[in-house]
Amino acid sequence: MITHTIRGEELWLLPERAVYWQAKQTLLVADLHLGKTATFRQHGIPLSDDVLADDLERLERILLQTGAKHLIILGDLLHESRSLSAHTALQINRWFRQMGHLRISVVPGNHDRGLAGFTEAWGIEILGDPREEGPFALTHQPEARPGFYTLSGHVHPVHILKEGKSSLRLPCFYFGRNFAILPAFGGFTGGYPVRREAEDAIFVIADDAVIAI
């Protein structure tokens, strides 16, 4: 874990690909894409539901470790609601019901069409886009918001480390002048290299460590 301060607020950058805002007891994650393996199975690609179970277990673990009272998902909670099998939906429903003591909110992303049909059963709330919390605008799309610093997702940022002919792609937290992009939380999401400007801060995730680049 490493801390990074933006607009006077200290954020914990966790190697589990999440941000903990301690002052608000709030955990922020982006791009879970729950049910993505079910979507691939519908297209004839055999994939296990272990990815879903691992993602939910990891999320539960950091919620317990941080003691967060509020979980905010910055878009793309689901991958494609129409492709959720009954079994997959039951797994997700069971997890959310176990988290009944926790306030869970979602700022919808571009993949969250149909999410409203699940919110009551799962006990989650849909927030307006953007959601203004303190100095931050919480949203899915990374873009500047006048008067606020944006915390977002969508891009699935990675940073490429090069040494000689070898290179390594690592998920990262990206902090630009006006907005930050969280790494994709989902374990089956891929990534997009972000271009770094001189004033930007990038923190890569390497195994169980977060490292400033």
What pLDDT, on a 0 to 100 scale, did the predictor assign at position 40?
47
CATH number of 2-212: 3.60.21
- State mean pLDDT over 119-129: 86
Band (pLDDT 50/70/90 cuts) for residue 155 is very high
What's the rounded Cα separation, in Å, for the pair 73 and 37? 20
pTM score: 0.90
Which residue, chain included where needed, has tokens 């879903």? 52
What pLDDT, on a 0 to 100 scale, did the predictor assign at position 43?
47
Query: What does the chain come to in residues?
Result: 213
Domain boundary assignment for the chain: 2-212
What pLDDT, on a 0 to 100 scale, did the predictor assign at position 105?
95
Using one digit for the tens of pLDDT, what is the confidence trace for 14-44?
A: 999 999 999 999 999 999 988 765 554 454 4
Which residue, chain included where needed, has tokens 């915390």? 151
Band (pLDDT 50/70/90 cuts) for residue 133 is very high
Question: Is the model's pLDDT at 121 over the cut of 70?
Answer: yes
Query: To which H or E segment does residue 160 belong?
Result: strand 157-163
- State mean pLDDT over 6-11: 97
What pLDDT, on a 0 to 100 scale, did the predictor assign at position 39?
54
What's the rounded Cα separation, in Å, for the pair 76 and 45? 21
Find residue 78's DSSP bridge partners: 34
Using one digit for the tens of pLDDT, what is the confidence trace for 73-101?
A: 998 988 565 656 777 888 888 898 888 88
- State mean pLDDT over 44-50: 56
